[in-house]
Structure 1
Amino acid sequence: MQVLLLDLVVIFGLSVMAAILCHRLRIPTSIGLLLAGVLAGPDALALVRSPHDIELLAEVGVVLLLFVVGLEISVADVSRLRREFIIGGSLQFFGTAAVSALALLPMGMNLPQAGYIGCVVALSSTAVVLRMLQERAEIETPHGRAILSTLIYQDIAVVPVMLTAPLLAGLGQASLLPALSGLVLKVVVVAALALLAYRWIVPWVLEHIIRTRSSEAFLLGVFMLCVGIALITQSLGLSLALGAFLAGFILSESRYSHQAVAVMLPFRDVLMSLFFISVGMLLDIPFLLAHPVRIALLTLAVLLVKPLIAAAAALVTGLPLRSAVLAGLPLGQVGEFSLVATQAAVAVGLLTPDVFQSVLDVAVLSMMATPLLVAASAPLSERLCGTWLIHLQSQTVDPSAAQELEGELPRSGHVLIIGFGVTGRNVARCARRCGVPYAVVELNGAIVRRASEAGEPIRYGDATHAPILELVHAEGARAIVVVIDDPGAARRIVEIARRVAPEAYILVRSRYLREVEPLMALGADEVIADELEVSIEVFSRVMARMLVPREDIQRLIGDVRGHWRQMARTLAASATSVADLKVALPHLATHTLRLKSDSPLVGTTIAASGLRLVHGVTVLAVTRADGATIADPRGATGLETGDILFVIGPEGWDPRSLS
């Protein structure tokens, strides 16, 4: 026992040092843990004297990992990403498995072994890739969603892959049909038990635990369900991993899933650290030194083939080439579940320990190369996406020919909206109601089809390339609004848009404050950061509820914005003087009045209209129907149908009093 505790102290000490070093080097912690395991292993410093006990704890960590993966995968998540999940995930997984198996057959492996290793190679590292996407704030980007759906598919696929290991190992001793029938029967029994647990057992157990209002009882109950369901599947001849995943998936559909994730995450993180270190300890350094060329070639092949297939799968789902490259490169490694699946195959005799060592070496090296792949993804995607290729793509993917649609887009004086999500649709709706011409560029083909059928002036295309902006006449746009969730693409769009339309007003919506300065430096006139604006909205409402004077709240807003003060929440900076006047003169208000054809003011002048003498309001500006604006108009200025009057007057004045 003392030896085990000493080993744990050593391992956790190495884990802390690895985590600190990885944080400073900005690389995933899992890579540092793998290297720490290599150093602590028997072939290096031999710091751990009881590796078998550590491996047992690491297996518990794998079970908890699969349990938490099941908790975090819900039917709603799969449904939201169903196109990327079903099409992209299937093409990536089976495409990689097929290519890998065909490459391994000439190397002396039989078909069951080659097929199984192909599935193992198809699995990527969820821990490494998701951590990097979170650090780069790319989860909600188009390529981030494609990566996430593929990783979910792989996490689910690892369970049936591991189930096939005993079946494939027994192909030489028994016929395929009885073995397959037995496996199907076991799966049916487990599915029936899972449905029973989902409908009645788990809700009943959790309801009784929750009534105690005891966090300890809840934690112990979640552990009991996880281990209990895992033991049931193992007693039926299936794996602990399958049971843990099913337990998590069952709990994910309950109202207590978020609390279950919260209480299990610390245990998962601790035990997963043990898993990565134990994997590093398994690395046979003499084996690696004895076969350096072989391991290097296998690693290089994985780093080339997997990104290519993943990028091709992303292209099939409708992503443009740039996003497909960004989605493919991060999936180029062999992941942690590959090691779990390979160990399961070695345990049943399907694979040899030498094969496991080869997979382990390739996994460690490919994980270490992942940060380099991700760093190279943006410049590589830009280099691959030449102008001719993007132009060809815009002609072939857009369901309507560009020549037929050319006349539908405004050529000058319009608002160009890049991105047709919630913000983009709201901007378009307001522009349409105000009679402002606009055009839209969107990357999602399904959104383009629906919006086009609804009559929106929208085009499919990747706005990170000048030909797409030229297609929608960006050079004549009065304003360009960039509202997409891809920070890298937003920077590229601003740079090109400023070059194509030097006089246009460019406004960008970003998620984080750290994006503001780079975007402003590239030519954006204003950047609205969600992070800043949401915080302002929150404290403004709280302070208003606490009866803080409005002028004090406005002053707080100015202090919070600091050097971003020019960004107003609702009006551009040029209009803030009216708001300042409102603070100084609270009895006054600004109003907007559109003159219809039946308005009594049409055909008169400002002086003759009686607006000031009769109604007590002053005209600040007039915008004509053709878009021309008259600032500080004279009394002799005539009023016409379609004019918009900006006036200031008493707080309670109603423009309808003119009729």
Structure 2
Amino acid sequence: MQPGLAPEVFFVLLAALCGGLLVRLLKLQPIVGYILAGVVFGSIFPVYGGQIQKLAEIGAVLLLFSVGIELSLSKLARVAKVAVIGAIIQMAFISLLAYGLLSVLGLNPLTAFILAFGFSLSSTAVVVKILTDKGEENTLHGEIMIGWLLVQDLAVIPMMVVLPAIASPGEGGVIGASILALGKAVAVVVGTLALGKLIVPFVIHKIAAINSRELLVLSSLTLALGTAFLTSYFGVSPALGAFLAGVVISESQENHAVFAETRPLRDIFVALFFVTLGFLVTPQTVIANIGIILVMATLVIVAKALAVFVLTVGLGYHGKTAIAVALGLSQIGEFAFVIFSLALALGLIEPTTATIGVATTLLTLVATPFLFRSITPTWRKARDSFVKISFLEKIVTGGDRRESPAVEYKEHIIICGYGRVGGWVGKALDSMSMPFVVVDYNQAVISDLRKKGIEAIYGDPTEKEVIEAAGVKNAKVVVLAIPDETSQEEIIAFVQNVNPSAKIISRVHKDEAWDKLKILKVDKVIQPEFEAAISMIRTILVSMGKTKEDINERTKRIRLSHAMT
């Protein structure tokens, strides 16, 4: 009896599961495990690679569909200048640098161009996951990273349009075919978006009103795959069609519901896509080219980090923000896999070249969590080095702390970090006319506060001179509204040393951080998620008719239990 496709899909998903679990134990990203599973599985059953390729292509289509749904122009607007200018210049610089190096290594111009473009991209999936886990997606550096990644993701679309034209240029040559393909793509994009905005939100809204999750999923997937089919019919990449379908749905009120409902199915097909990428990586090729792979991965990380750092500082941001953005975006992204896979399918690159590209990308993804952990130590070392060179120190730190007016603050409150949490605290204190000083290294925030007549100091609150300028020796309360645990600990140590009587109030994101700050004898540690749970519990108890005394007693017990766990 012919087993058909089912055994291959079963074994590939099993391999993806095992690989994903393994890397999770190592605190790495599932993508890494999927590709490694593909490497192992492909070595044992190489014939299966071609048989599940069609399913993997659906994974690529659904990946672009979800990117379209998640497209947030409002987030991009907040950091548009640094995200758009920075991402475009960084991609151009890294592409040119990588192209030159790959050409020196003997690759032909087209192959070098494809790999170089892939190397210029960073990983949206990995970076956003790490930022979310750390509770930093809404910080200044988090928003810059997400905006930067969004611009990079959008830049992938023209590349996916041009590659098929390069593969089959026709009589007009490569340049003519590329221009024609881009023109056709623009026409398809405009037509799809115009038609889609008129029809799709209305249809999705009507289907959602039926209150059937199955119909919502089916209609969304039909739209994604149907648009992919239509765009491919007009000679445009199916992935671009799926992306456009996602963009159209992102304009509807039901965009979050569609994303949530289709995500499980998308994740399965995306896993298949990354596993099949592992089939491209032959261990023998990796071993034979390990020197090139290690050198390329190292050079990409270093060059990209330096480029992003210089651009972010050059666009007016504090050195600490620039270091975080630079290290956070220094890897190669998952869309490089999409580009390499497409180029291989079109016959534009050799399997050996694809293996080198995938292995190099994989290595940088493995390094990403460690690069994020090195942000604060790297900033400390960089700050100490910049201090020795006055003009560099002024460029990187803004030099603003030296120009701050010498105000004698007394019996006041210091707010370190003026994001969402710090902002609400500041607004409340301002409404009660209580004296407070804000310390933040977001120049736009500081400028806005000063225009409102609020005392604000630009700089990193972990720096001695900055926190002293805020009058820490005379402060009554110090509020730590910054999410970075290491920075919190530095500020706590300094405050406790120079002003032991000051009350310290700090926010935390994780339970482990809560425990650590209690050991450091912080006066009040607040965990926003826990406080939200307490508020919900109080509301529930009120709705159940419990007395005020009973509610207070029960929530007190919960707080005590939380403190002991």
Normalising by structure 1, we get a TM-score of 0.78
Report the counterpart of residue 35 of structure 2 in structure 1. 34
Per-residue CA deviations over 1:471-527 (Å, capped at 9, x if unaligned) read 222122222111224344333332333234333211113344443222233342211
Question: What is the CA distance between 1:110 and its match in structure 2?
Answer: 5.3
Question: What is the CA distance between 1:47 and its match in structure 2?
Answer: 3.8
* 8 A Cα contact 2:205 2:253, kept in partner: no
Report the counterpart of residue 223 of structure 2 in structure 1. 225
Per-residue CA deviations over 1:282-304 (Å, capped at 9, x if unaligned) read 10222222222222222221232
Matches of 1:171 and 1:7 in 2, distance apart?
A: 36
Q: Per the alignment, in what secondary structure is the counterpart of residue 138 of structure 1?
A: coil
- With 75-84 and 437-446 compared, the bigger mean Cα shift is at 75-84
Against the structure 1 CA distance between its residues 504 and 213, is the aligned structure 2 distance closer, same or farther, given a 3 Å change threshold? Answer: closer
Question: What is the CA distance between 1:426 and its match in structure 2?
Answer: 4.6
- Aligned mate of 1:438, from 436, 439, 442: 436
Structure 1's unaligned 5+ residue stretches are: 567-659
- With 315-324 and 397-406 compared, the bigger mean Cα shift is at 397-406
Matches of 1:163 and 1:393 in 2, distance apart?
A: 43
Against the structure 1 CA distance between its residues 202 and 366, is the aligned structure 2 distance closer, same or farther, given a 3 Å change threshold? Answer: same
Matches of 2:288 and 2:487 in 1, distance apart?
A: 45
Against the structure 1 CA distance between its residues 564 and 283, is the aligned structure 2 distance closer, same or farther, given a 3 Å change threshold? Answer: closer
Report the counterpart of residue 505 of structure 1 in structure 2. 503
Matches of 2:355 and 2:170 in 1, distance apart?
A: 24
Matches of 1:48 and 1:102 in 2, distance apart?
A: 34
Report the counterpart of residue 550 of structure 1 in structure 2. 548
Per-residue CA deviations over 1:454-478 (Å, capped at 9, x if unaligned) read 2211111111222211222212222
Against the structure 1 CA distance between its residues 398 and 269, is the aligned structure 2 distance closer, same or farther, given a 3 Å change threshold? Answer: closer
Against the structure 1 CA distance between its residues 210 and 485, is the aligned structure 2 distance closer, same or farther, given a 3 Å change threshold? Answer: same
Matches of 2:53 and 2:62 in 1, distance apart?
A: 14
* 8 A Cα contact 1:330 1:373, kept in partner: yes
Question: What is the CA distance between 1:113 and its match in structure 2?
Answer: 4.4
Residue 299 (1) aligns with residue 297 (2): yes
Report the counterpart of residue 24 of structure 1 in structure 2. 25
Question: What is the CA distance between 1:341 and its match in structure 2?
Answer: 0.8
Alpha-carbon RMSD: 2.8
Against the structure 1 CA distance between its residues 29 and 446, is the aligned structure 2 distance closer, same or farther, given a 3 Å change threshold? Answer: same
Q: Per the alignment, in what secondary structure is the counterpart of residue 135 of structure 1?
A: helix
Residue 540 (1) aligns with residue 525 (2): no
Which of the pair has the greater relative contact order for Cα pairs under 8 Å at 6+ separation? 2
One-letter amino acid matched to 1:221:
S
Against the structure 1 CA distance between its residues 297 and 227, is the aligned structure 2 distance closer, same or farther, given a 3 Å change threshold? Answer: same
- With 360-369 and 439-448 compared, the bigger mean Cα shift is at 360-369
Report the counterpart of residue 572 of structure 1 in structure 2. none
**Residues 75-224 of structure 1 mapped to structure 2, 5 A cutoff:** 75-109=73-107, 111-168=109-166, 174-175=172-173, 178-210=176-208, 212-224=210-222
**Residues 52-71 of structure 1 mapped to structure 2, 5 A cutoff:** 52-71=50-69
One-letter amino acid matched to 2:525:
V
Question: What is the CA distance between 1:97 and its match in structure 2?
Answer: 1.8
Report the counterpart of residue 405 of structure 2 in structure 1. 406
Question: What is the CA distance between 1:114 and its match in structure 2?
Answer: 3.5
Q: Per the alignment, in what secondary structure is the counterpart of residue 2 of structure 1?
A: coil
Report the counterpart of residue 486 of structure 1 in structure 2. 484
* 8 A Cα contact 2:95 2:116, kept in partner: yes
**Residues 633-648 of structure 1 mapped to structure 2, 5 A cutoff:** none
- Aligned mate of 2:365, from 367, 391, 399: 367
Matches of 1:118 and 1:520 in 2, distance apart?
A: 49
Matches of 1:39 and 1:110 in 2, distance apart?
A: 30
Matches of 2:400 and 2:150 in 1, distance apart?
A: 36
Against the structure 1 CA distance between its residues 305 and 234, is the aligned structure 2 distance closer, same or farther, given a 3 Å change threshold? Answer: same
Question: What is the CA distance between 1:369 and its match in structure 2?
Answer: 2.5
Question: What is the CA distance between 1:396 and its match in structure 2?
Answer: 5.1
* 8 A Cα contact 2:114 2:339, kept in partner: no
Flag the structure with higher helix content: 2
Report the counterpart of residue 340 of structure 1 in structure 2. 338
One-letter amino acid matched to 2:539:
R
Against the structure 1 CA distance between its residues 163 and 495, is the aligned structure 2 distance closer, same or farther, given a 3 Å change threshold? Answer: farther
- With 32-41 and 127-136 compared, the bigger mean Cα shift is at 127-136
Q: Per the alignment, in what secondary structure is the counterpart of residue 412 of structure 1?
A: coil
**Residues 582-593 of structure 1 mapped to structure 2, 5 A cutoff:** none
* 8 A Cα contact 1:10 1:47, kept in partner: no
Per-residue CA deviations over 1:134-190 (Å, capped at 9, x if unaligned) read 333332233222222222222221111222224455679745663344134312321
Against the structure 1 CA distance between its residues 285 and 306, is the aligned structure 2 distance closer, same or farther, given a 3 Å change threshold? Answer: same
Report the counterpart of residue 12 of structure 1 in structure 2. 13
Against the structure 1 CA distance between its residues 328 and 251, is the aligned structure 2 distance closer, same or farther, given a 3 Å change threshold? Answer: same
One-letter amino acid matched to 1:406:
P
* 8 A Cα contact 1:57 1:271, kept in partner: yes
Q: Per the alignment, in what secondary structure is the counterpart of residue 501 of structure 2?
A: coil
* 8 A Cα contact 1:498 1:523, kept in partner: no
* 8 A Cα contact 2:401 2:466, kept in partner: no
Matches of 2:54 and 2:420 in 1, distance apart?
A: 49
One-letter amino acid matched to 1:123:
L
Per-residue CA deviations over 1:307-349 (Å, capped at 9, x if unaligned) read 2223333334444223322222233322221121123233444
One-letter amino acid matched to 1:366:
T
* 8 A Cα contact 2:318 2:396, kept in partner: no
One-letter amino acid matched to 2:378:
L
Question: What is the CA distance between 1:26 and its match in structure 2?
Answer: 1.8
Against the structure 1 CA distance between its residues 168 and 81, is the aligned structure 2 distance closer, same or farther, given a 3 Å change threshold? Answer: same
Matches of 1:440 and 1:428 in 2, distance apart?
A: 8
Matches of 1:248 and 1:367 in 2, distance apart?
A: 26
Question: What is the CA distance between 1:109 and its match in structure 2?
Answer: 4.3
**Residues 426-465 of structure 1 mapped to structure 2, 5 A cutoff:** 426-432=424-430, 436-465=434-463
Against the structure 1 CA distance between its residues 49 and 101, is the aligned structure 2 distance closer, same or farther, given a 3 Å change threshold? Answer: closer
One-letter amino acid matched to 2:37:
A
* 8 A Cα contact 1:510 1:527, kept in partner: yes
- With 138-147 and 531-540 compared, the bigger mean Cα shift is at 138-147
Matches of 1:134 and 1:433 in 2, distance apart?
A: 32
Against the structure 1 CA distance between its residues 5 and 382, is the aligned structure 2 distance closer, same or farther, given a 3 Å change threshold? Answer: same
Against the structure 1 CA distance between its residues 476 and 30, is the aligned structure 2 distance closer, same or farther, given a 3 Å change threshold? Answer: same
Normalising by structure 2, we get a TM-score of 0.91
Q: Per the alignment, in what secondary structure is the counterpart of residue 143 of structure 1?
A: helix
Matches of 1:302 and 1:462 in 2, distance apart?
A: 29
One-letter amino acid matched to 1:378:
T
Per-residue CA deviations over 1:498-557 (Å, capped at 9, x if unaligned) read 234333211113344443222233342211221222211121122123221111111011
* Alignment coverage as a number of residue pairs: 562
Q: Percent identity?
A: 28
